[in-house]
Amino acid sequence: MHIVHMAAENDSLPNAKVGGVADVVRDIAPALADLGHQVSVVIPGYGVLHRTNGAEYMANICFPFRGTLHDAQFYRVPAKQVHPGVTHYVIQHPFLEAVHARTGHHQIYVHDPDDQPFFSDGSRFACFCSAAAAALAGEVIPRADVMHLHDWHMALVALLRRYHPACAPLQSVRTVFTIHNLALQGVRPLAGSSSSLSAWFPDITWHWLDVADPRWPDACNLMACGIRLADRVHTVSPAYAKEICRPDDLPRFHGAQGLQAVLAHENDTGNLKGILNGCEYPEDRHPPVMEMPEMIRSFQRRIMQWSAGRQTVSSAAFIACHNLSGLLQRRNRPRPDRSPMVLCSVTRLTRQKVLLMRQGEDKGMSAIARILTALGDDGVYFLLGTGHEEFERFFTRLGARFPNFIFLHGFSDQAARALYANGDLFLMPSSFEPCGIGQMLAMRDGQPCVVHAVGGLRDTVRHGVNGFCFGGRDLDDQAQNFVETACQAIGLFKNDPEKWQQIKDNAAGTRFLWQDAAQQYVEKLYGFS
């Protein structure tokens, strides 16, 4: 069969990745092709991807948007790694472009003011959905058996399939909608704004129950729209599929994010399926194993690269370099009998990812500060990432207080790979996690993880077997259990090397294969055995 994936990101193409959606789209397509299916992947061109070396203009697309007909250009684009059976396309239209005001770089997502969330991206992706639906209905994209829509950005394809006369041919195409992160729902007004459902498609009439937000009856919820109008709804882990059918109990528990009635209905009818994402295990992969002095110097060079061209050096960079130099001096002394323990995290600095680390700060000592105290001078914790300023400031202050904490304020794949390959214990205390990839990458390199037992983390890490899990009744309880579990792991590393090696071996031997996920996609989502 021919399966068409539509998404905002695709890491098979250069400069087309922001987050985990791009990884999933990149990896599931060849896994499905390996099962004998034809796979097409379609994303916006963003004003730049159609200029990729080797891109080939294929056709013109005429599509409706904002009450008039528009023309978009359809390109086939070569992937970074060619795979037989997979074809990558982009749709180019000026309205899909967004340029960062400061850097001049093209953007995949636009950060709108807090009082106008999704104002820009709602319109941009509505435009793309209309063009993509027209390309499918007119078979500019070869006739599809399955349309697979990823996250709220693509939900309007399902709406057009149901209600737009020009998209009637798509009603026979099986439609799957994947929830990658329910926290982002694409809520916009039904009317009264240039970025509203009525403004985007004034020439169609829809049923209010298919598009409305359950909380605000005058708003359109694109995530809910995709869930309601798809034939199958998919989450990226089985545990997350169960969690999102339960109401929120914030900040303790992140569940349905206001969509419990919508999701409970899909679950009751058997349309909601949780399938765990996979991870790549290439046979020719060579993790960058380093001695500690080599890794320290590589991070020092990385910080200098991040700081190059700036008039001033940030506090985070200065403190990290200072702590790295101190760590190097300690490592140059006569080595103790046992090697230092290396803790690490690779993460976005958001409430979802690091709130629990900060818990307890108002009572004198945060959770992560207590872990650093227990780790002591014969260990070090590297945290790589960027995100919200309040968390960046928190970790900068933490580095000034603890010489065994290195906050690497930035991101690079090379630095991340070094931490996955050389860390002893990976910390991932997410408040919620649809699937998670960091724990899979760390485990792949034989690094056990301390994780909050939620979502995909619960589906991948088994306490005391291939890693360590914690839970809790409320934030304080979760933070306390996080500290105790991390300290338990640190104690095991220091005092029971035989047991520690067994957990490391179990982590390295655990496999989450895309081939298995692809088979479940075909059977549970696409309706073909």
- Look at residue 367 and tell me if it is in a domain: yes
Contact yes or no for 46/108 (Cβ under 8 A): yes
Q: First vs last Cα of the chain: how many Å apart?
A: 12
In this prediction, residue 137 carries a pLDDT of 96
H or E element that contains 5: strand 2-6
- Coil, helix or strand for 213? coil
DSSP string, 72-129: EEEEE---SS--TTEEEEEEE-GGG--B-TTT--B-SS----TTSTTHHHHHHHHHHH
Q: What is the rounded CA–CA span in Å between residue 371 and residue 39? A: 47
The structure tokens listed for 361 are 């700060």
Question: Is 153 part of a structural domain of the chain?
Answer: yes
CA atoms of 165 and 171, how far apart (whole Å): 10
Instruction: Enumerate residues 6+ apart whose C-beta is below 8 A from 51.
Output: none
Tens-of-pLDDT digits for all 529 residues of the chain? 999 999 999 999 999 998 889 999 999 999 999 999 999 999 999 999 999 999 999 999 999 999 999 999 999 999 999 999 999 999 999 999 987 766 677 889 998 887 788 999 999 999 999 999 999 999 999 999 999 999 999 999 999 999 999 999 999 999 999 999 999 999 999 999 999 999 999 999 999 999 999 999 899 999 999 999 999 999 999 999 999 999 988 888 999 999 999 999 999 999 999 999 999 998 888 889 999 999 999 999 999 999 887 778 899 999 999 999 999 887 665 544 456 899 999 999 999 999 999 999 988 899 999 999 999 988 999 999 999 999 999 999 999 999 999 999 998 989 999 999 999 999 999 999 999 999 999 999 999 999 999 999 999 999 999 999 999 999 999 999 999 999 999 999 999 999 999 999 999 999 999 999 999 999 999 985 4
Give the whole-angstrom CA distance, residue 464 versus residue 448.
Answer: 10
- Give SS3 for 12: coil
Asked, for residue 199, whether it belongs to a domain, the answer is yes
User: Same domain, yes or no, for 427 and 521?
Assistant: no
Q: What is the reported pLDDT for 333?
A: 55
Same domain, 361 and 501: yes
Same domain, 246 and 323: no
Specify whether 252 is located in the same domain as 296: no
Tell me, yes or no, whether 268 and 228 share the same domain: yes
Q: How far apart are the C-alpha atoms of 200 and 123, rounded to whole Å? A: 7
Shared domain check, 215 and 316? no
Q: Which domain holds residue 469?
A: 292-511
Residue 15: name the closest of 101, 87, 111, 79 by CA.
Answer: 79
- Whether 229 maps to a domain, the answer reads yes
* Residue 283 covered by a domain: no
CA pair distance 350, 450, nearest whole angstrom: 18
Residues 108 and 183 in one domain: yes
- pLDDT given at position 332: 62
- 361 CA to centre of own chain: 28
Residue 66's identity, in one-letter code, is R
Distance, CA of 44 to CA of 89 (rounded, Å): 8
User: Which residues, other chains included, contact 397 with Cβ-Cβ below 8 Å and sequence gap of 6+?
Assistant: none
- Distant-in-sequence, close-in-space partners of 457: CB < 8 Å, separation ≥ 6: 428, 430, 433, 436, 439, 451, 469
User: Do 244 and 365 share a structural domain?
Assistant: no
DSSP lists the bridge partners of residue 148 as: 5, 176
Identify the helix (H) or strand (E) that includes residue 221. strand 219-221
Q: Are 218 and 198 in contact (CB under 8 A)?
A: no
Tell me, yes or no, whether 205 and 298 share the same domain. Answer: no
Amino acid at 495: N
Count how many domains the chain has.
2
pLDDT of residue 340: 82
**Residue 389's CATH number:** 3.40.50.2000
CA distance 164 to 205: 8
The torsion angles phi and psi of 320, rounded to 5 degrees, stand at -60, -45
Residues 313 and 266 in one domain: no
Task: For residues 226 and 224, give the distance between their C-alpha atoms in angstroms, rounded to a whole number.
Answer: 5
Do the Cβ atoms of 17 and 11 come closer than 8 Å? yes
pLDDT at res. 451:
98
Instruction: Classify residue 349 by its DSSP letter.
Output: B
CA distance 259 to 378: 47
- Owner of token pair 């579990």: 485
**Residue at 179 is within a domain:** yes
State the pLDDT at residue 338: 54
| Residue 285: inside a domain | no
Asked whether 117 and 18 are in contact (CB, 8 A), the reply is no
Give a yes or no: residue 300 inside a domain. yes
Cross-strand pairs, 70? 63
Same domain for 188 and 74: yes
Together in a domain, 249 and 362: no
Question: How many whole angstroms from its chain centre is CA 59?
Answer: 32
